[in-house]
Amino acid sequence: MDNFDKLKTYLEEKRFLIEKTLEELFPKERSYGERVISASYYSLSAGGKRLRPILCLMGYELGDKKSEEILPFACGIECIHTYSLIHDDLPCMDNDDLRRGKPSCHKAFDEATAILAGDGLQALAYEWFTHPEVVKKINPKVLLKAINYIAKASGLQGMVGGQMADLLSEGKKGNLKLLRWIHEHKTVALIEASLVSGAILAGIPAKTLKILSRFGKKFGLLFQITDDLLDLIGDEKQMGKPAKSDLKKGKLTYPSLFGLEKTKRLAEKTTQEAIDSLAPLGEKGELLEILTHYLLQRIS
Amino acid sequence: MDNFDKLKTYLEEKRFLIEKTLEELFPKERSYGERVISASYYSLSAGGKRLRPILCLMGYELGDKKSEEILPFACGIECIHTYSLIHDDLPCMDNDDLRRGKPSCHKAFDEATAILAGDGLQALAYEWFTHPEVVKKINPKVLLKAINYIAKASGLQGMVGGQMADLLSEGKKGNLKLLRWIHEHKTVALIEASLVSGAILAGIPAKTLKILSRFGKKFGLLFQITDDLLDLIGDEKQMGKPAKSDLKKGKLTYPSLFGLEKTKRLAEKTTQEAIDSLAPLGEKGELLEILTHYLLQRIS
């Protein structure tokens, strides 16, 4: 079995655990709030790679811990990611009718329901971060620190600020400084925080957290670059959304700024930087290294 | 000085502390996210009674604690309340152009910015709940419990679910069961959780928390009933929004179901029930009792 096969098995196992936990934890009692609860679950259960919660589990396992202990926390991160997708798809934002091959939330339901579903998923994230099962396993001070880290990364000075700048940049002549800022906030911040929060929960020392943070930023950037490239060269079925939609919207992306070839070279360079940043971890960094190669391979 | 004067001085002092803290804690570094940070602050600093954070401080003081210790936490509750107002005002929701006498967030900015401002304020709430100043003062396990309480109260099975049911009930023939459910979720849940979370933070025993929860529910209901009445009989300047807007939208309210007089009698009955529920607290319940009378007096 080669490295990618081992990784794929690992990812598949974790994805299964995440999806099982999402289903188990999701509110069952619905009453008059039925519609918004259904809409939230519609989007939350729509699949996807579950990359962010898996990164959180990987960060936790770096401290020689069993990732089952923090499944509700990891699922909370997926709630934040899903809420951001629901809101980003809205007509007044990116106006995307399709998400993961299905009608996006506001298409399957309506705009008001989609806004509320996103709001409810964000609240659910914090309900799960503080879930009794997690509180039982994790030092409470450390848990508070991890929650604070995620809240910052996903808020006004993180993901939300990045989405704002992304919207404002549409159709305008951009520059590398702005593009980097958008990526660092809109996508990278939550990806980095997913990995680092898991490591915080495992009680990993500050010095190693810094290494993981540096890697997480490189990895997140690589994720965004390959995503931008896939929008241009990927096939619609695999992506579950129309190809070239960034291009049509006049989004500021690496390919729009540098062209295909230069962007591919940048992806390779970023892959190398991400892997180099793992060196101090020694053997422990192996799985993250394979994951990084795997990410790059999406565009080859 | 009579009781109401004493209460007004108290509320004024606490409001000042809340607004000072909001200003101090609010993110200063803005960069390319400037627009959404400005929009959030526009709504957060637009005034209002700051009732929810003050209830949180009152709950905390019931444990003989100094409310200054949890100001960032209380301000987090105001972030949640403000985000809900911003989203409720959106065209696809209640479509309100005015809020507190000023253009609502999507009017002063635009819809996408308003959605993101609300999203960012919800994240900011949890950043402030886990603020180092709070973590320094409060037992971390207790703090996690308070956060969990607020997340539940404001989420899919609380405030968000209530807003969904409220939207769906517009223009339809309602009934008392549905109306109660809407109020209990849309408004009462966060008001009750504001008071109870403060008491949780103070380490108040479970038996007293139950008493406060019961009172909080009655008090929250009274707040909603008087709000519904003010929409009909209040003056626009005082409310900062057009009168009779519930009526025009065909909202399900107590007055729409029972008429003015019966609703006023219900407000009086609810006041009495709220005050009765405080009896086990003895002298400690005095301030909450005066606050309840003060609320009723808004409609007399």
Q: With CA atoms as reference, report the closest residue to A151 among B139, B131, B116.
A: B131
Residue A247: pLDDT band by 50, 70, 90 thresholds? Answer: confident
The predicted-structure confidence for A225-242, as pLDDT tens digits, reads as follows 999 999 888 776 666 666
> Given a cut of 90, is residue B101 above it in pLDDT?
no
> Given a cut of 80, is residue A172 above it in pLDDT?
yes
The predicted-structure confidence for A264-298, as pLDDT tens digits, reads as follows 999 999 999 999 999 999 999 999 999 999 999 98
No. of helices (H) and no. of strands (E), chain B: 17, 2
Q: How far apart are CA B201 and CA B187, in angstroms?
A: 22
**Torsional class of A27: left (φ above 0), alpha (ψ -120 to 50), beta (otherwise):** beta
What does the pLDDT read at residue B237? 65
Tokens standing for residue B254: 């107590």
Shortest CA gap A29–chain B (Å): 8
Q: Picking from A58-72, A264-278, B171-185, B186-200, which range would have the lowest pLDDT averaged per residue?
A: B171-185
What does the pLDDT read at residue B251? 86
**Torsional class of B95: left (φ above 0), alpha (ψ -120 to 50), beta (otherwise):** left
Say if the Cβ atoms of A119 and B87 lie within 8 Å.
Answer: yes
Q: How many CB atoms lie within 10 A of CB B249?
A: 16
> Given a cut of 90, is residue B172 above it in pLDDT?
no
Half-sphere exposure of A3 (CA within 13 A, CB side): 10
Give the residue from chain A lying closest to B154, CA to CA.
A123
What is each CA distance from B258 to A47, A171, B79, B181, in whole angstroms?
A: 47, 54, 34, 16
Say if the Cβ atoms of B37 and A161 lie within 8 Å.
Answer: yes
> Given a cut of 90, is residue B113 above it in pLDDT?
yes
- Which residues are bridge partners to B103 per DSSP? B98
- Which of B120, B160, B178 comes nearest A123 by C-beta? B160
Q: How far apart are CA A43 and CA B48, in angstroms?
A: 35
What does the pLDDT read at residue B238? 67
Contacts of A163 in chain B (CB under 8 A): 116
> Given a cut of 60, is residue A3 above it in pLDDT?
yes
- Please tell me the total number of residues recorded for chain A in this structure: 300
Residue B13: pLDDT band by 50, 70, 90 thresholds? Answer: very high
Contacts of B126 in chain A (CB under 8 A): 126, 147-148, 151
Whether the Cβ atoms of residue A43 and residue A117 lie closer than 8 Å to each other: yes
Q: What domains does chain B contain, in order, with CATH numbers?
A: 3-297 (1.10.600.10)
DSSP H helices, chain A, are 3-25, 34-44, 51-61, 71-89, 105-108, 111-129, 132-137, 140-154, 159-169, 176-183, 189-201, 206-233, 236-239, 245-249, 254-258, 260-277, 286-297
DSSP, res A186: I
How, if at all, do strands B102-103 and A102-103 pair? unpaired
What does the pLDDT read at residue A299? 81
What does the pLDDT read at residue B1? 57
Q: What is the mean pLDDT of residues B257-286?
A: 96
Say if the Cβ atoms of A92 and B111 lie within 8 Å.
Answer: yes
Shortest CA gap B274–chain A (Å): 26
Shortest CA gap B31–chain A (Å): 9
- Which of B35, B167, B168 comes nearest A164 by C-beta? B35
Say if the Cβ atoms of B92 and A111 lie within 8 Å.
Answer: yes
Q: How many CB atoms lie within 10 A of CB B63?
A: 16
Shortest CA gap B39–chain A (Å): 11
Shortest CA gap A142–chain B (Å): 9
The predicted-structure confidence for A142-167, as pLDDT tens digits, reads as follows 999 999 999 999 999 999 999 999 99
Say if the Cβ atoms of A144 and B148 lie within 8 Å.
Answer: no
Residue B30: pLDDT band by 50, 70, 90 thresholds? Answer: confident
Say if the Cβ atoms of B130 and A122 lie within 8 Å.
Answer: no
Contacts of B145 in chain A (CB under 8 A): 130
Tokens standing for residue B286: 């005095």
**Torsional class of A282: left (φ above 0), alpha (ψ -120 to 50), beta (otherwise):** left
Q: What is the mean pLDDT of residues B131-151?
A: 98
> Given a cut of 80, is residue B53 above it in pLDDT?
yes
Residue B234: pLDDT band by 50, 70, 90 thresholds? Answer: confident
Q: With CA atoms as reference, report the closest residue to A111 among B167, B176, B198.
A: B167
Say if the Cβ atoms of B156 and A27 lie within 8 Å.
Answer: yes
Q: Strand, coil or helix: what is B15?
A: helix
In terms of pLDDT, which residue wins out, A246 or A127? A127
Q: How far apart are CA B226 and CA B220, in angstroms?
A: 10
Whether the Cβ atoms of residue B73 and residue B201 lie closer than 8 Å to each other: yes
Contacts of B115 in chain A (CB under 8 A): 87, 90, 92-93, 115
Q: Picking from A114-123, B81-90, B133-142, B228-237, which range would have the lowest pLDDT averaged per residue?
A: B228-237
What does the pLDDT read at residue A59? 98
B226 CB-contact burial (10 Å; exposed 0-12 / middle 13-18 / buried 19+) = buried
In terms of pLDDT, which residue wins out, A87 or B99? A87
Say if the Cβ atoms of A185 and B157 lie within 8 Å.
Answer: no
Residues 6 or more apart in contact with residue A13 via CB below 8 angstroms: none
Please give the backbone phi and psi of residue A186, each rounded to the nearest 5 degrees, phi first.
-65, -40
- Rounded to the nearest 10 degrees, what angle do helices B140-154 and B189-201 cross at? 180
Based on C-alpha coordinates, what's the Rg of chain B?
19
What does the pLDDT read at residue A1? 57
The chain-wide mean pLDDT, for chain B, equals 94
Which of B95, B119, B154 is best to mutate for the A interface (most A CBs within 10 A)? B119
For residue A121, give the amino acid letter: L
In terms of pLDDT, which residue wins out, A45 or A247? A45
Tokens standing for residue A295: 């990410």
DSSP, res A134: H
The predicted-structure confidence for A75-130, as pLDDT tens digits, reads as follows 999 999 999 999 999 999 999 999 988 999 999 999 999 999 999 999 999 999 99
The predicted-structure confidence for A192-227, as pLDDT tens digits, reads as follows 999 999 999 999 999 999 999 999 999 999 999 999
